[in-house]
Structure 1
Amino acid sequence: MASKTPVTISGTATVREIGERLILPLPEEASARLPSRGQVAVTGALGEHELSTVLEPDGRKGHWVSLDEEALAGLRAADLARDGAEVAFQLTTAASWPEPEVPEDLGAALEEAGDLDEQWARITPMARWEWVRWVGATKSEATRAKRVDVSIDKLRKGSSRPCCFDLSSCTDPELAKSGKLIGLE
């Protein structure tokens, strides 16, 4: 959740490649100024590329930026979409959360359910981010499918959030081991 007084952090960060993905871990001193060790909604810029996103926790009291295709396009233009590139950033905590990109399986299940449009709209964007993170926080297809089913069941019962998992851990199974972003000292 964004703090009442916006916090702005700026500096440079080094692009890191983990597996086949590029991410931008923020410097420790920048993350320390943020209002939460968990996800933080921000607006700002990476180099010349403007963005509105949610910073992800690294499981070590820090944060990282997912470099999606749009961000990478902006960084490619400046030859910064590569491991080791130094990227200037200026990020300000946002007053509201952007909508998450709902994964195909969860989106299809919500649509198939047919009775959850109001419930999904009623919960906050921050809560929707938590549902998306929880569904995606597994490497196992069987576990993921079960989490989609449980999500539908819990939403039907009026739940706003999936559960009480550690919100300050890195939940991206491609990038994390034991809740910690891999590849950082």
Structure 2
Amino acid sequence: MTQEDTRSRFSARVLRPEDPGNDNSWAFVVLPKEASAKLPRRGRTTVEGSINGQGFKALLEPDGQKSHWLRVDEKLLKDSGTDIGDVAQFEIMAVGQEPEPEVPSDLVKALDASPEARVTWDATTAIARLDWIHWITSARQAKTRTKRINDACDMLASGKKRVCCFDPSGYYSKAFSAPKAAE
């Protein structure tokens, strides 16, 4: 699959999340299944694209339905002249090479404390590291997150490069979904 094979153009309504957390200034779009199907993976994946002609680079999140959703921040909304509720024109394409993910500080600390785990971590691909991070950060409770970090270090220290028993798309486990849209 070439990078060009992942290109899609589509129209989609820009939605306000029902629960935006502490930041009320963002919106989201659920990608059409046809656009998502062209991407190299159902889990988190980075794309370059445009909304109403305004370029962006973003990490798409899985929606648990074999598609993805895109968080659109306030700056991109403003720069693209898009308002919540508008139907916008999108173009997306997977990046040529997945960028290094930002590693959460608690995971960095744990990796620094386990030289064997760090060696395996450094030997994995950016996509594998993205899946490890996604598995850890998808924990809903602090206790679960801490356990996953400890388990990750144990697995990595034993030479395991991929997180086991984790569906990065959320389809089989229903662990992930797009935000619910406000009415």
Same fold (TM over 0.5): yes
Do 1:14 and 1:86's aligned partners in 2 also have CA atoms closer than 8 Å?
Answer: yes
In the alignment, does 2:63 pair up with 1:58?
A: yes
Residue number in structure 2 paired with 1:163: 164
What is the alpha-carbon distance in structure 1 between the residues aligned to residue 161 and residue 175 of structure 2?
26
What is the alpha-carbon distance in structure 2 between the residues aligned to residue 105 and residue 22 of structure 1?
28
Residue number in structure 2 paired with 1:39: 44
What is the alpha-carbon distance in structure 2 between the residues aligned to residue 76 and residue 37 of structure 1?
29
Per-residue deviation at 1:26?
Answer: 1.1
Aligned residues: 172
Specify every segment of 5 or more residues in structure 2 that has no aligned partner in the other structure, as ranges: 21-25
The more displaced of 6-15 and 146-155 is: 6-15
Residue number in structure 1 paired with 2:23: none
Judged with a 3 Å threshold, the aligned counterparts in structure 2 of structure 1 residues 58 and 119 are, in CA distance, closer, same or farther, namely: same
Per-residue deviation at 1:78?
Answer: 4.0
Residue number in structure 2 paired with 1:174: none
In the alignment, does 2:22 pair up with 1:23?
A: no
Specify every segment of 5 or more residues in structure 1 that has no aligned partner in the other structure, as ranges: 171-176
In the alignment, does 2:124 pair up with 1:119?
A: no
What is the alpha-carbon distance in structure 2 between the residues aligned to residue 19 and residue 94 of structure 1?
30
1:1-185 mapped onto 2 (5 Å cutoff): 3-4=1-2, 6=4, 7-16=6-15, 17-20=17-20, 22-47=27-52, 48-51=54-57, 53-67=58-72, 71-80=73-82, 83-169=84-170, 178-183=175-180
Residue number in structure 2 paired with 1:173: none
Task: Map Cα deviations across residues 112-146 of structure 1 (whole Å, 9 max, x no partner).
Answer: 33554432221000001100110011211100111
Do 2:118 and 2:157's aligned partners in 1 also have CA atoms closer than 8 Å?
Answer: no
Amino acid at match of 2:8: I
Task: Map Cα deviations across residues 81-137 of structure 1 (whole Å, 9 max, x no partner).
Answer: x54243332111222111112222212222333554432221000001100110011
Do 1:54 and 1:98's aligned partners in 2 also have CA atoms closer than 8 Å?
Answer: no
Amino acid at match of 2:137: G
4+ residue segments displaced more than 6 Å: none
SS at match of 1:66: strand
Do 1:25 and 1:64's aligned partners in 2 also have CA atoms closer than 8 Å?
Answer: yes
Percent identity of equivalent pairs: 32
Do 1:41 and 1:97's aligned partners in 2 also have CA atoms closer than 8 Å?
Answer: yes
RMSD: 2.7
* TM-score in terms of structure 2 length: 0.77
